[in-house]
Amino acid sequence: MKALRVERPGALALCDVAAPEPRAGEVLVRVEAAALNFADLLLRDGRYLDPIEPPFTAGRELAGTIVGVGPGVAGWMPGARVVAIVRQGAFAELAVAPAASLFSLPRGLSAEQGAALLVAGLTALVCLEDVARVAPGETVLVQSAAGGVGSYAVQVARALGARVAGTASSPAKLDVIRELGAELAVDYAAEDFVAAVGAWTGGRGVDVVLETIGGDVFRRGFLEALAPFGRMVVLGVARGAGAALTCRELLASNKTVAGFYLNGWMGHPERLAAAGARLAALVEAGAVRPLVGERFPLARGAEAFERLRSRRSVGKLVLVP
């Protein structure tokens, strides 16, 4: 079968490899679509928090049809159309997935939309609902709001009854943010996001910041954009860590900063199942929709990675075997 492999850090190649076989607790899926995440870019380059030693088949989330079931799997049969999160292997014609990470493809979604659902959708939902505990009427700032997680976060925050502001880097992306329901869309390349948020909230600041960028953006977001007693959830450091808070600044702020890492959270199947059910309900009710930007055949996978790295993409990029 064809698979997009990381042969060494930074190097991708389309290879012919043997089809995988499901082990105990796993299923074999014929992949119909697989979505690209920023974590895949970091894994390719050997910079991810939880690295994988090359060579390996890339890709962390997929949609497709079960074609085989390993020992000990209950409740799933060949022919079922599913979405899943995997540690590796989604960018291939066939992939194995833990049965515990499977969900039925929600009604009304294409395979491409389903492939783009879980990693970003679950991250946005859990960060806002479980970690930040967003309440109706609160204000939420979503950094990089036209991206994979950001596009979901704008919609989820709205579904929770919040007012939403989002940042992005181009007029086209700002239009997308507004279409998703944001009241305020800030071009962070041309505007001071702290000043824009301050004007929007009458100088108070926002109740919640969803932080994906790191560096000085993290520091200014916490100290200047976040209201007293506000909550920040850190789920990415696209620009690197840097610009740390001091203990004195944290102590004096009366604010909360929390972290969220999907890989660590995935080790709790009961939480995964509950959040997946909530996400599916939002999708089927029409409150949240996957935003698929561009589609690439597997043979052009390296091009998709570079498109993501360039930050020109909107929503999720999807690879189709």
Please name each of the domains of the chain with its CATH number: 2-117+290-320 (3.90.180.10), 120-263 (3.40.50.720)
Residue 244 DSSP label: P
The answer, yes or no, to whether residue 314 has pLDDT greater than 70, is yes
β-partners of residue 16 are 2
pLDDT at 238: 67
% of the chain with per-residue pLDDT over 70: 98
The Cα 124–Cα 130 span in angstroms is 10
Q: Which residue has the tokens 């498109």?
A: 307
| Res. 178 pLDDT band, cuts 50 70 90 | very high
* Of 228, 207, 105, residue with least CA distance to 163: 207
pLDDT digits (tens, 9 = 90+) for 212-270: 988 888 889 999 999 999 999 999 876 666 667 888 888 888 999 999 998 888 888 88
* Of 151, 176, 156, 257, residue with least CA distance to 209: 257
The answer, yes or no, to whether residue 282 has pLDDT greater than 90, is yes
The answer, yes or no, to whether residue 301 has pLDDT greater than 70, is yes
Mean predicted confidence (pLDDT) in 12-37: 97
The answer, yes or no, to whether residue 68 has pLDDT greater than 90, is yes
Mean predicted confidence (pLDDT) in 96-120: 95
Mean predicted confidence (pLDDT) in 27-56: 93
pLDDT at 310: 84
Where is pLDDT greater, at 270 or 58?
A: 58
The Cα 13–Cα 6 span in angstroms is 7
% of the chain with per-residue pLDDT over 90: 79
Per-residue tokens: 48 = 């991810």
Q: Which residue has the tokens 């540690």?
A: 87
Per-residue tokens: 281 = 């309900």
> How far from each other are the two terminal CA atoms of the chain, in whole angstroms?
10
Number of other residues whose CB lies within 10 A of the CB of residue 154: 30
- Residues 302 and 12: beta-carbon distance below 8 Å: yes
Number of helices (H), then strands (E), in the chain:
11, 16
pLDDT at 245: 83
Angle at 88 between CA 83 and CA 92, to 5 degrees: 70
CB within 8 A of 22, min separation 6: which ones? 28, 68, 69, 70, 73, 96
